[in-house]
Amino acid sequence: MKAIKVLLFTFLITSCAPIYLTTDFEKGTDFSKYKTYNYYSDIETGLSELDAKRLFDVLDTQLQLQGLSISETPDFFINIQSKEYPAEQNSTVGIGIGGTGRNIGGGVSIGIPIGTAKVTREIIFDFIDENGIGLFWQATSESTYQPNASPEKREASLQALVEKVFNKYPPQQK
């Protein structure tokens, strides 16, 4: 029953906040040779310390589900970067005043934003083979972010994000 509630909650979070994703990879990479990973020791994610810990926990779980394991001598390293910026405000109300007269015209228009400003967070995942080809896979996610969300909602949104990102790993090469 609890699993159903978590799944429903994750679905609710993902349906309300779309996650935009782009991935790229080095052509000719043999992804089957990568079995172990680790994070850079000096990684600066750009996330709060608590959000970074949540992201690492969710990421470790997802990668283990895909058959990868964390190691002190990894096949590749993971680097994570993020940044936040205000999302474009699409909802505005225009108020205008205008007048015309004999060859004289004028007008004033003011756009007033409706609702609260939204924040967009971009997170970039880099997979780097330091003993081989260097950067071999990258995913860039973009989604809305609620700075005042509860810890449970933050974790659920990170879970949804990681699941979507790693549905594209390893990439299907043609």
| Number of domains the chain contains | 1
Q: Which residue has the higher pLDDT, 108 or 121?
A: 121
Please answer whether residues 117 and 107 qualify as being in contact, where contact means their C-beta atoms are separated by less than 8 angstroms.
no
* Domain contains 160: yes
CA-closest candidate to residue 19, choices 131, 162, 174: 162
Cis preceding linkage at 170, omega within 30: yes
Q: What is the pLDDT of residues 110-136, one digit of tens each?
A: 666 665 667 899 999 999 999 888 999
Q: Which domain holds residue 74?
A: 21-90+122-166
Q: What is the CATH number of the domain that holds 74?
A: 3.30.160.670
- Interstrand relation of 119-129 and 134-145 (parallel, antiparallel or unpaired): antiparallel
Model confidence, pTM? 0.74
* Domain contains 102: no
Q: What is the pLDDT of residues 16-31, one digit of tens each?
A: 568 899 999 999 899 9
* Domain contains 133: yes
Q: Is the dihedral of CA 4, 10, 16, 19 positive or negative?
A: negative
* Domain contains 97: no
Q: From CA 164, how far away is CA 168, in angstroms rounded?
A: 7
* Domain contains 129: yes
* Domain contains 28: yes
What tokens appear for 7 in the block?
A: 């799944």
Q: Which amino acid is at 37?
A: Y
Q: From CA 170, how far away is CA 96, in angstroms rounded?
A: 54
Q: What is the pLDDT of residues 46-79, one digit of tens each?
A: 999 999 999 999 999 999 999 999 999 999 999 9
* Domain contains 157: yes
Query: What is the predicted pLDDT for the residue at 82?
Result: 95
* Domain contains 31: yes
DSSP structure class, residue 83: E
DSSP structure class, residue 149: -
Q: What is the pLDDT of residues 89-102, one digit of tens each?
A: 565 555 555 555 65
